[in-house]
């Protein structure tokens, strides 16, 4: 009986001490972690909308979309964070749009687990630059193995066709959601 009490007491004491220390460390770390995450989102919002100086989250949206304002506090565009399936897993990206939603300013890949060296080429500039100034009406399209002819077309990467197509698909489904909000007058 004595040994059982000893066992329980030891474990309880260790548990309480560990819990106490952890809650202290957590109190110190959690504001920093939050600040990091906020800074990261902010950086991406302005990266895809370079003219932006301030931003504001759109209320009533069931996904992340931000209004971006220029230095005169005029609406310059929207940045929307959207995700979908890529070749091997989730791709999360930030899409910058002009205020009429008809032109992409720029895109940024936030998270991806694509094949290193092949699928990861979607995060590199030659691919991403294709989206600068891309028209989005009626939607973004891709072409394979030739140069794009229409203003709403991009060329897929050789060896990473599925990853490239996934990016286009994610943009299109994000756009669709944004347009729906626009129609409902919530933007």
* Positions that interact with another protein (CB under 8 A): 3, 6-7, 10-11, 14-15, 18-19, 21-23, 25-26, 28-30, 32-33, 36-37, 40, 85, 87-89, 113, 115-118, 162
Task: Give the residue with the Cβ less far from another protein, 14 or 57.
Answer: 14
With 0-12 CB in 10 A as exposed, 13-18 as middle and 19+ as buried, what is 84? Answer: middle
Judge whether 110 and 81 are in contact, CB under 8 Å.
Answer: yes
Taking the complex as a whole, the smallest distance from the CB of residue 116 to another protein amounts, in Å, to: 4
Taking the complex as a whole, the smallest distance from the CB of residue 180 to another protein amounts, in Å, to: 21
Task: Give the residue with the Cβ less far from another protein, 78 or 87.
Answer: 87
Taking the complex as a whole, the smallest distance from the CB of residue 109 to another protein amounts, in Å, to: 13
Task: Give the residue with the Cβ less far from another protein, 88 or 135.
Answer: 88
Task: Give the residue with the Cβ less far from another protein, 11 or 143.
Answer: 11
Taking the complex as a whole, the smallest distance from the CB of residue 144 to another protein amounts, in Å, to: 15
Taking the complex as a whole, the smallest distance from the CB of residue 136 to another protein amounts, in Å, to: 26
Taking the complex as a whole, the smallest distance from the CB of residue 33 to another protein amounts, in Å, to: 5
Task: Give the residue with the Cβ less far from another protein, 5 or 59.
Answer: 5
Query: Which residues touch 135 (CB under 8 Å, ≥6 apart)?
Result: 102, 103, 150, 151, 152
Judge whether 80 and 97 are in contact, CB under 8 Å.
Answer: yes
Task: Give the residue with the Cβ less far from another protein, 26 or 137.
Answer: 26
């Amino acid at each position: 009986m004595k040994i059982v009490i000893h066992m329980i007491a030891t474990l309880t004491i260790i548990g309480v001490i560990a819990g106490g220390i952890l809650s202290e460390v957590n109190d110190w770390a959690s504001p920093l972690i939050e600040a990091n995450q906020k800074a990261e989102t902010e950086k991406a919002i302005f990266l895809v909308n370079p003219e932006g100086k301030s931003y504001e989250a759109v209320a009533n949206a069931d996904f992340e979309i931000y209004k971006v304002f220029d230095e005169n506090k005029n609406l310059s565009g929207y940045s929307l964070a959207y995700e979908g399936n890529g070749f091997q897993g989730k791709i999360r990206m930030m899409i910058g749009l002009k205020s009429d939603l008809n032109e992409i300013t720029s895109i940024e890949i936030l998270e991806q687990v694509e094949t290193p060296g092949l699928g990861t080429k979607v995060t590199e500039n030659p691919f991403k630059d294709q989206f600068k100034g891309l028209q989005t009406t009626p939607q973004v399209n891709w072409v394979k193995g030739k140069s794009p002819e229409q203003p709403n077309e991009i060329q897929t990467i050789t060896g990473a066709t599925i990853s490239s197509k996934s990016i286009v698909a994610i943009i299109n489904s994000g756009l669709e959601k944004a347009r729906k909000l626009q129609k409902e007058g919530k933007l």
